[in-house]
Structure 1
Amino acid sequence: MALMRAPRAIPFLMALALVLPAWRNSQAQAALLMEEPFGFFGFLNPTGHDAIYFQRICAETPVKLRRCAPGEDGAVITRYQGIAHYDWIAMPLLPYLYAVESSSEVPARADRKAVTGLRDKYREAHLASLGKEVPRGGTIKRGWSQFVGVAYDRRIYAFRFATTEEQDDALIAQMNAGENRSRFNLLYRNCADFNRGVLNFYFPRTFERSILPDAGVTTPRQVTYKLLRYARKHPETQLAVFDIRQVPGNRNRSRSNKSIVQALITSGYVVPLAFLSPYIAGGVIIDYLVWGRYPLGLKHPQVLTPENMGPLTVFGSEPSPLSASVGAPL
């Protein structure tokens, strides 16, 4: 009987072989980029920065999105404060990380003069549409240099998740149709709030604002923790974690991302706060111990290099979802 039924299965298997590649092509991936704090501002506010990379979404201009063409590596989208009065900026992946358009141009080490030269060259060629009045930025007040060659300033962890064609197209339409005018507020409309909204677009009602910890302020570590927690309950998210190392030579090594209450404790700010009000200081400590530690469980994530961005830019690349890169707390 089995031998008689076998020929009937052949058309089904042939159809399945045709359908599976089409289904796979409808999938893509994105990644939450948790970027470590650096410099003097990073000392004052060690929460860091975050952004979202999309494999299928590309930047037609820094403020207009489109579908990627074959061979393009996608774009990074994030919110900054007062960049030509725009609320969000989109940048191709390699220029965002390394201020160049080809992986062969990325230096193994770059001093401050070399990094400035790479950034200036890219800005002159591709960012004229933002206007000449946009400041470069410096130690305190940031400018366009903070989204060109990010990896020269800090280490970045990429938390990759799967997306669908329909989701990506809907996000492109929504962001292109919306009013892209600056809404930045450090406490309640910061970069992490922007990414919280984008992630809610893909995973509705998952990334709500938390009253505790941090008095309702959203931080990159908090958003990352919620993505990890969601992915562990939903394997279809296909989460994988990667490490994009800081290119040496331009700055001292960046520091790990912290929640606000963690920063108050580890920096020692809680000590003078205890003299002003022991109750407030005690509340900060309890806030941290009960709610604010946000263990991310990173253990030896795969390191991505300029020559090997495939796991981030090609859907289905190794490692497998929630691999051994998720382990001990960071």
Structure 2
Amino acid sequence: MFEARRRKGESLLSPNSSSHLTPVASIRISFERRLAAALFSFALACLFACLICSRAYGDVGVVLDESLDTSVARITGSGHSAVYLSRICPETPVKLRLCHPGEQGSVISNYTTLGEDQPFEWNIVPLSVYLYGVEDARYRPMFGSQKIKRILEERYREKHLSPYCASESCMTSNKAEWREMVGASLSRSIYVFVAGTTVEQDLALIAQFNSLPNENHFNGVTRNCADFTRRVINTYFPGATGPEYINDFGMTSPKAIARSFTHYALRHPELRFRVLHVAQVPGTIKRSSECRNGAEQLYRSKKLLIPMLIFANYELPVFIASYALTGRFNPEHQFEKHPAVAAAEVEHQVRLAKSENDKAHVEQLEAVEGQERAEVVGTSDEWKKYRKAFDSFVEEAVREEIIPERGYLNRFFKYLDEGDTPLVDSNGALWMQLPDRGGTSQAGLSASNILASDSDSQLAYELFLARTERVLKSPKHSRETMVEFKEDWALLQYVRMKSTVSVANTAMPAAGTRSTLMPAGGILNPH
């Protein structure tokens, strides 16, 4: 059982205190609310500007989902492969059409079994549903848990999948893999390797997929998710993707498709190639791990390397040599090199300048290229400065008794997840009921409502502190972009200011209440 921080009296920013505000205070609150809304809107625009193109410029992308610590993935580490389509949207989960103005595109994929009433080979879902589990990213969850993912899965099933998912097994089984296409970024980090397309190419794909039978013939060796992605991409660009049979022991892996497509796109600068990165949402779900091909998994995994040394000591050097010579491919490095269209265009100009032996122009272009990349990815010094500044925020929060100690931030998501099951509104926004001195209050857990006037402002500050702590501690492949982080940082500063005002204008907690979101037994010792 949890109790959120509560103090006597009302904050200046409390929704029920407006009648007692001076005109200056009212103006300030109005400004702060507009600021918060503007920051969220700008952050959202930055995130989707890289993904959404105009009708004149469409995109197709190889989606590389990181590996989960479940089932066969524990052994293979291969991850999952899907396809992003910026100009194609779902008419239904099993039928394609061109997107209408304002729509975000979609992701199409297949799995071992989608678990639906008919054995479909593939489903297609809106991009935001795939990433965040909601149709509009403004309502995306601010932290991830299995509870939240399950709620969003059920909401999607009821709204969009019910004609195809009426059986008991489809509705209730965790093995029904249509669930993997709802809120994927709650479970893992995602890379998207993107290239430009024409309307004619998109129409050809729509005609092909809408006319052919959508029947599942999944085979882990010859018709897996990577083979499906290969089929779609090669419809756009024949021969653009292919397997690496030696490194993957005769199969096609998601990483091989991403690697071959990257090499193809870089040979064709007119495709406006770039790599996008969507980090796993901070929360209680175990962090995903980087994808590996077969030989790489043998090389890096102690669980497999030791048995291979014993039972296949002659073959092992061959696989290791193959990986070292032909199999190296790091998605994060590709993202850092090609994070935006502008950087890709400058890179092409650098190659042209080098071919003309124009050293002065090369130096100028490389400086611009570095700046373009740094704006998206960030530099080591920049991340270091944010870590130092965040340390001062945490020290202040402990000093002001907003949180008991820094270790509390590491346990915050667990405490939150152990509370009541969140509620979801018609838009997909999440709310949690919190005990409050014999009554209840509510806290928004989505981007659209976490700073709402009727949402608990103290929990919002703790949530932003915990999110920022997680991001700054994460390795690069699990860390959001600098563009996204700067917007999170601006929001953290906003809720910090709001929390400071609240603390300064309220009394001590009433007897029997707690100052933080924690179990009734007190602070848990870290394990």
TM-score, shorter chain, exceeding 0.5: yes
Q: Which runs of 4+ in 1 moved over 6 A?
A: none
Q: CA deviation at 1:302?
A: 8.8
Measured at CA, do residues 249 and 160 of structure 1 come closer, stay the same or move farther in structure 2, by a change above 3 Å?
Answer: same
Distance 2:96 2:201 in 1: 14
TM-score by length of 1: 0.81
1:231 corresponds to: 265
Q: CA deviation at 1:158?
A: 1.4
1:36 corresponds to: 66
Measured at CA, do residues 287 and 300 of structure 1 come closer, stay the same or move farther in structure 2, by a change above 3 Å?
Answer: closer
* Letter of the structure 1 residue corresponding to residue 294 of structure 2: I
Runs of 5+ in structure 2 lacking a partner? 1-53, 348-368, 378-475, 478-527
Task: Report sequence identity in percent.
Answer: 33
Mapped pair 1:292 → 2:327: yes
Mapped pair 1:132 → 2:163: no
1:174-209 per-position Cα deviation (integer Å, ceiling 9, x unaligned): 001111100111121111111111111111123233
Distance 2:221 2:293 in 1: 13
Distance 1:283 1:151 in 2: 36
Distance 2:132 2:321 in 1: 40
1:275 corresponds to: 310
Q: CA deviation at 1:299?
A: 5.1
1:12 corresponds to: none
* Letter of the structure 1 residue corresponding to residue 324 of structure 2: L
CA RMSD, 1 decimal: 2.5
Distance 1:135 1:44 in 2: 29
Deviates more, 1:200-209 or 1:83-92: 200-209
Measured at CA, do residues 302 and 203 of structure 1 come closer, stay the same or move farther in structure 2, by a change above 3 Å?
Answer: closer
1:49 corresponds to: 80
Measured at CA, do residues 291 and 61 of structure 1 come closer, stay the same or move farther in structure 2, by a change above 3 Å?
Answer: same
Q: CA deviation at 1:319?
A: 5.7
More strand by proportion, 1 or 2?
1
1:69 corresponds to: 100
Deviates more, 1:40-49 or 1:143-152: 40-49
Deviates more, 1:58-67 or 1:210-219: 210-219
More helix by proportion, 1 or 2?
2
Distance 1:271 1:250 in 2: 32
Q: CA deviation at 1:48?
A: 0.2
Q: CA deviation at 1:225?
A: 0.8
1:206 corresponds to: 240
Distance 1:298 1:209 in 2: 19
Give the 3-state SS of the residue equivalent to 1:107 in structure 2: coil
Mapped pair 1:96 → 2:127: no
1:218-247 per-position Cα deviation (integer Å, ceiling 9, x unaligned): 111111111111122110111011111111
Give the 3-state SS of the residue equivalent to 1:59 in structure 2: strand
CA contact (8 A) 2:243 2:256 kept: no
* Letter of the structure 2 residue corresponding to residue 79 of structure 1: N
Deviates more, 1:107-116 or 1:167-176: 107-116
Distance 1:127 1:82 in 2: 15
Distance 1:302 1:246 in 2: 20
1:314 corresponds to: none
Q: CA deviation at 1:49?
A: 0.4
Measured at CA, do residues 137 and 223 of structure 1 come closer, stay the same or move farther in structure 2, by a change above 3 Å?
Answer: farther
Deviates more, 1:70-79 or 1:25-34: 25-34
Distance 1:71 1:201 in 2: 26
Q: Write out aligned runs for 1:174-253 (5 A).
A: 174-253=208-287
CA contact (8 A) 1:29 1:163 kept: yes
* Letter of the structure 2 residue corresponding to residue 35 of structure 1: D
Deviates more, 1:254-263 or 1:241-250: 241-250
* Letter of the structure 1 residue corresponding to residue 314 of structure 2: Y
Runs of 5+ in structure 1 lacking a partner? 1-23, 304-310, 312-316
TM-score by length of 2: 0.52
Q: CA deviation at 1:300?
A: 3.8
Distance 1:50 1:298 in 2: 17
2:143 corresponds to: 109
Q: CA deviation at 1:248?
A: 1.6
Distance 1:115 1:212 in 2: 37
Measured at CA, do residues 125 and 250 of structure 1 come closer, stay the same or move farther in structure 2, by a change above 3 Å?
Answer: farther
* Letter of the structure 2 residue corresponding to residue 290 of structure 1: L
Q: CA deviation at 1:260?
A: 1.0
